[in-house]
A and B are shown apart, each in its own frame.
Chain A
Amino acid sequence: MSFLKKPSISHPGLPKNDIGLTIRDYEGAMSTLCAGCGHDSISSAIMQAYYELSVEPHRVAKVSGIGCSSKTPTYFLGGAHGFNSVHGRMPSIATGANAANRELNYIGVSGDGDSLSIGLGQFGHAIRRNINMMYLIENNGVYGLTKGQFSASADRGSTAKKGDANPYSPIDPVMLAISLGCTFVGRGFSGDKEHLVPMLKAAIRHNGFAFLDIISPCVTFNDHEGSTKSYAHTRANLRETVHADFTAHHEEIVAQIDPGEYKKITMHDGSRVGFQRVDESYDPTSRISALSYIEEHREKGEVVTGLLYFEESSSEMHSVLGSSQQAMATLPYKKLNPGAETLARIQSRWR
């Protein structure tokens, strides 16, 4: 990390997005993570995604739990409110925040410890309620801030820095999310920004709970030989299955791609996600197909990445609850107060 303050002047020639902002407007405070941390690459991809989508930073709400990954919302979108909550409980903060104001864009950043150990329950229930948000697990298989214990996502046999092998089988958040009915599930790699940015953009635009598991090596505690979450191991065993691209609703698809390998799905706001199937046998709209494919390749030691499951016709929490389109937080009190006459009428039933 660096204690140098970021310069606040930006180059006048920096390109601007549709709302006249440059990428600098999507930055946050200086990162305090270790040099080379995968999480910083993800933060950079997040900035890029919001910049390219021309989202006003203050219309985004950032939530996180506790851990290295949960610190990162400070390092992007400084113009957005953030909530660094307690360990494993970010999903409930996100749910309540979303209940109060459905008009904002929610990003939840969590880690494998935060979501798969202490917060496994809340993670599952946020999926079940289909909260309209993007939820990221920055997955490194290890507890960094407490110096290198295995997390629940560590593979069996993967070794710790000091050499001990992990004896337990891992919880795969992608398998878990798909089987719990999550409506948007993908896996990315912090070292592959090119594929990560379009997946993030599609996740941001998804109307419902969009989950991305992002392998993000811990350079200090889990980047050695014997670790299955290192840069080297991840690069060697990555199997990209479905490469997603994303087109905002007002843009034209320019690139010509062989239609046999390409499938377009229109999202609720008119945006389109394109699936470029690297592996032709893969069907990202079938839960069973996704699960069996991931499992097959896991047995071979491969990490399947890409947009792995997608369900467009999803009912997020508010549509299930029948909530007003206007945010609860901005409803005027006169709409909420039933008044004295109504109170008298109610009490006439209590006699």
Chain B
Amino acid sequence: MTTSKLNDFVIKLANVNGTGSASANGMLMKSIFRMGIPVTGKNFFPSNIQGLPTWYEIRVSKDGYLCRSGKVDFMVAMNAETYNADLAEVDPGGYLMYDSTWPRKDMSDRSDVTVLGIPLSAMCNEAFESARAKVLMKNVAYVGALVALLDIDMSMVENLLKETFSTKPNLADANMQAIRMGFDYAMEHFDCPLPLKLAPMDSTVGHVIVDGNTTAGLGAVYAGATVTSWYPITPSTSLIDAFSLFCQQLRKDSDTGENNYCVIQAEDELSAIGMVLGANWNGARAFTATSGPGISLMSEFLGLAYYAEIPAVLYDVQRVSPSTGMPTRTQQCDIVSAAYASHGDTKHVLLFPADPTDCFHMSQVAFDLAERLQTPVIVLTDLDIGMNDWMIPEIEWDDSYQPDRGKVYDAKQLKDMDAFYRYLDVDGDAIPWRTLPGVDAKGAYFVRGSGHNKFGGYTEKSDEYKDVVDRLRRKFDTAATLVPAPVLNIDDSKPREKSFALVSIGSCDAAIREARDRMQQDGQGNLDYMRIQAFPFNNDVADFIARYEQVFIIEQNRDAQLRQLLTVELSIDPNRLVPLLSYDGMPVSSHFIVEGVSKLMKQGHAA
């Protein structure tokens, strides 16, 4: 029995970390993309530099689904250590390719999987001189075999090699030799192409392949950020790397040759957020990127920023917790800790991007909100969005965009006024006016995390203290009207499910979109779906939930943190909010959601 599929299957590549498989796997994915077939790549890598198992999962989807399907049709098993588990993961009717140079005795076998052996090591040991090339070229050779087996357009591979090695033609030749070796072996020994194969489409026109950390870093450049400080932490480091690289390319002043940006690697996260606050206090757009452990360390300063009303933007690229957790696996586990980071009555604005497109655009939204509201804004992305390869429509930019710098008195306004007081609610929206250092002595005030009154002076008087913290609470009512509204996905073309609906955030979106389609196709119902984009919750959030008997809250953490926030902040009866949770560290699959939602609907109807 073999699976017959066209442009709709999953290839998973099991490798050893540090053997150079990433570039070969990327080339494979990009070749498929350039054939016009929608494709995404997800990297399941260890917290290790060399030696531990690593996987790359390529989903080919003619319908453009970007999530994990939850199944594997073709396994490239290059790691003997994980061979048995890799074989077990293949869906019945699927294929497994392995390096037949080494015997597979003691290894399990499956009659429902077609096993293809190729002596990759033997071929490469013979063809290449250096020890490093022998290792690297094995990866390139299996790509060559896949070109034959899956009917990949060879010219796409050739072009990619030429582009990659444009300055090193020798390497391009060696790589092409390895591709040919794998290709020729497969053509000679197997019936190519397999029933699992590719055919050109035109569905990737106007699209790009990119990860969310890259688009977030670029988004910060377009938002006008000039200062960043961070402490290296997986999986956020590549966001700062992207920002730095784009600044080197785009922010060297054409007149002076000087850098119109400042990137500072801090000694720890406490210092990183301190620098961000110092810079924002002084009028620059400054940000940091971190992950859960960093948010813990930044919490003290976040409380100061909330209370003293200093803008700041943080990207929290979430990874598996608690504690150090699994640093290279994904989760949405910092929702509660980010919302209330720091001691006391503290609250922060959160944004929930769903994909790299959102990471770009929400960067401008984050800086605009931070300066408009004079408070930290935390962009809660995750490892799946941040480090995996997503296919997205080309990002569009409106050149008329102007940053919203919020309420800042300039020198002239200060000269014209009798006196300036920092924390007065002049406009009735609970947002005070601020001034920047260096502008005018009349604007001078003292930022403090200690008790202060509405004039900015130190206080220990109860009524003066309450006056300020009550206004801060009202400021969050204003925030709820300014943050992005939820995205409502409602399909009126078919009868809709009336009793139940779906609510989710962030990177669950791709899997939910596919799951809704599958459930509709299978006659399991047409469910309305709301994707929340921000905290504090916009009024539309409560309105949506009120329409159904129960909503299923889909999120990627153990303790249903989004549900906690909804329950506490909107005073919704918890019985109406039913959690569906995926928290094993893998990006949630559409399969998981279809199964989970079907079960919850049956339980709900029975109740």
Contact of B278 among A94, A103, A340 (CB under 8 A): A94
The distance in angstroms between the C-alpha atoms of A350 and B89, with both chains bound, is 31
B204 to chain A, nearest CB (A): 8
A80 adjacent to chain B (CB < 8 Å): yes
A132 to chain B, nearest CB (A): 13
By a CB distance below 8 angstroms, the chain B residues around A337 are 222, 224, 399, 401
The distance in angstroms between the C-alpha atoms of A121 and B231, with both chains bound, is 14
By a CB distance below 8 angstroms, the chain A residues around B448 are 84
B74 adjacent to chain A (CB < 8 Å): no
The distance in angstroms between the C-alpha atoms of A29 and B117, with both chains bound, is 82
B495 to chain A, nearest CB (A): 40
B446 pairs with A95, CB closer than 8 A: no
Taking CB atoms and an 8 Å cut-off, the chain A residues in 60-108 that contact chain B are: 61, 63, 73-74, 78-86, 89, 91-101, 103-104
A347 adjacent to chain B (CB < 8 Å): yes
Closest to A317 in B: B264
By a CB distance below 8 angstroms, the chain B residues around A86 are 274, 300-301, 304, 449
A66 to chain B, nearest CB (A): 8
By a CB distance below 8 angstroms, the chain A residues around B444 are 57-58, 78-82
B253 adjacent to chain A (CB < 8 Å): yes
Taking CB atoms and an 8 Å cut-off, the chain B residues in 435-463 that contact chain A are: 435-441, 443-450, 458
The distance in angstroms between the C-alpha atoms of A98 and B281, with both chains bound, is 11
By a CB distance below 8 angstroms, the chain B residues around A19 are none
Taking CB atoms and an 8 Å cut-off, the chain B residues in 240-293 that contact chain A are: 246, 250-251, 253, 256, 258-264, 266-268, 270-284, 286
B398 adjacent to chain A (CB < 8 Å): yes
B226 adjacent to chain A (CB < 8 Å): yes
By a CB distance below 8 angstroms, the chain A residues around B278 are 63, 83, 92-100
Closest to B360 in A: A343
B197 adjacent to chain A (CB < 8 Å): no
Taking CB atoms and an 8 Å cut-off, the chain A residues in 177-236 that contact chain B are: none
The distance in angstroms between the C-alpha atoms of A184 and B440, with both chains bound, is 30
By a CB distance below 8 angstroms, the chain B residues around A73 are 446
A104 pairs with B209, CB closer than 8 A: no
B441 pairs with A79, CB closer than 8 A: yes
B365 adjacent to chain A (CB < 8 Å): no
| Interface 1/0 per residue, B411-450 and A, CB below 8 Å | 0000000000000000000000001111111011111111
Contact of A96 among B30, B246, B279 (CB under 8 A): B279
By a CB distance below 8 angstroms, the chain A residues around B112 are none
A58 to chain B, nearest CB (A): 4
Contact of B226 among A57, A79, A331 (CB under 8 A): A331
With A81-B438, A92-B278, A99-B279: A328-B262 Cβ-Cβ less than 8 Å: yes
A101 pairs with B446, CB closer than 8 A: no
A59 adjacent to chain B (CB < 8 Å): yes
A250 adjacent to chain B (CB < 8 Å): no
B218 adjacent to chain A (CB < 8 Å): yes
Selected interface stretch from A10-18, A158-166, A256-264, A318-326: A318-326
A61 pairs with B282, CB closer than 8 A: yes
B210 adjacent to chain A (CB < 8 Å): yes
B375 adjacent to chain A (CB < 8 Å): no
By a CB distance below 8 angstroms, the chain B residues around A97 are 278-279, 281-282, 437
The distance in angstroms between the C-alpha atoms of A61 and B444, with both chains bound, is 9
A333 adjacent to chain B (CB < 8 Å): yes
**Residue among A94, A103, A330 with the highest chain B CB neighbour number at 10 A:** A330
With A104-B438, A328-B279, A339-B397: A93-B274 Cβ-Cβ less than 8 Å: yes
Main secondary structure on A side of the interface with B: helix
**Residue among A97, A129, A325 with the highest chain B CB neighbour number at 10 A:** A97
By a CB distance below 8 angstroms, the chain B residues around A324 are 253, 256, 258-260
B542 adjacent to chain A (CB < 8 Å): no
A335 adjacent to chain B (CB < 8 Å): yes
**Residue among A317, A327, A331, A344 with the highest chain B CB neighbour number at 10 A:** A331
The distance in angstroms between the C-alpha atoms of A125 and B275, with both chains bound, is 12
Contact of A89 among B264, B274, B280, B438 (CB under 8 A): B274
Contact of A333 among B224, B271, B281 (CB under 8 A): B224
Closest to B253 in A: A324
A343 pairs with B222, CB closer than 8 A: yes
A102 to chain B, nearest CB (A): 9
Closest to B300 in A: A86
The distance in angstroms between the C-alpha atoms of A267 and B14, with both chains bound, is 62
Interface residues on A, range: 35 or more
Taking CB atoms and an 8 Å cut-off, the chain A residues in 300-340 that contact chain B are: 317-318, 321-325, 327-331, 333, 335-340
Closest to A335 in B: B260
The distance in angstroms between the C-alpha atoms of A81 and B408, with both chains bound, is 14
Closest to A57 in B: B441
With A325-B256, A347-B394: A99-B437 Cβ-Cβ less than 8 Å: no
A351 adjacent to chain B (CB < 8 Å): yes
B402 adjacent to chain A (CB < 8 Å): yes
| Interface 1/0 per residue, A149-183 and B, CB below 8 Å | 00000000000000000000000000000000000
B283 pairs with A100, CB closer than 8 A: yes
B395 pairs with A328, CB closer than 8 A: no
Closest to A58 in B: B441
**Residue among A85, A317, A333 with the highest chain B CB neighbour number at 10 A:** A85
B596 adjacent to chain A (CB < 8 Å): no
Closest to B263 in A: A321
A321 pairs with B283, CB closer than 8 A: no
B274 pairs with A350, CB closer than 8 A: no
**Residue among B227, B395, B435 with the highest chain A CB neighbour number at 10 A:** B227
A322 pairs with B270, CB closer than 8 A: no
B220 to chain A, nearest CB (A): 10
Taking CB atoms and an 8 Å cut-off, the chain B residues in 215-231 that contact chain A are: 218, 221-222, 224, 226-227, 229
Closest to A104 in B: B438
A346 adjacent to chain B (CB < 8 Å): yes
B406 adjacent to chain A (CB < 8 Å): no
Contact of A322 among B34, B258, B394, B458 (CB under 8 A): B258
A146 adjacent to chain B (CB < 8 Å): no
By a CB distance below 8 angstroms, the chain B residues around A82 are 444-447
B500 adjacent to chain A (CB < 8 Å): no
By a CB distance below 8 angstroms, the chain B residues around A331 are 226, 260
The distance in angstroms between the C-alpha atoms of A335 and B226, with both chains bound, is 11
B33 adjacent to chain A (CB < 8 Å): yes
11 contacts between A and B (CB under 8 A): A57-B444, A58-B439, A74-B458, A83-B278, A92-B275, A96-B227, A96-B280, A97-B281, A322-B259, A329-B282, A351-B209
Additional A-B contacts beyond A57-B441, A84-B449, A91-B274 (9; CB < 8 A): A61-B282, A81-B446, A86-B301, A89-B270, A92-B274, A321-B259, A329-B284, A338-B246, A350-B209
What is A's interface to B at a CB cutoff of 8 Å? 56-59, 61, 63, 73-74, 78-86, 89, 91-101, 103-104, 121-122, 125, 129, 317-318, 321-325, 327-331, 333, 335-340, 342-344, 346-347, 350-351
What is B's interface to A at a CB cutoff of 8 Å? 30, 33-34, 207-210, 218, 221-222, 224, 226-227, 229, 246, 250-251, 253, 256, 258-264, 266-268, 270-284, 286, 300-301, 304, 394-399, 401-403, 435-441, 443-450, 458
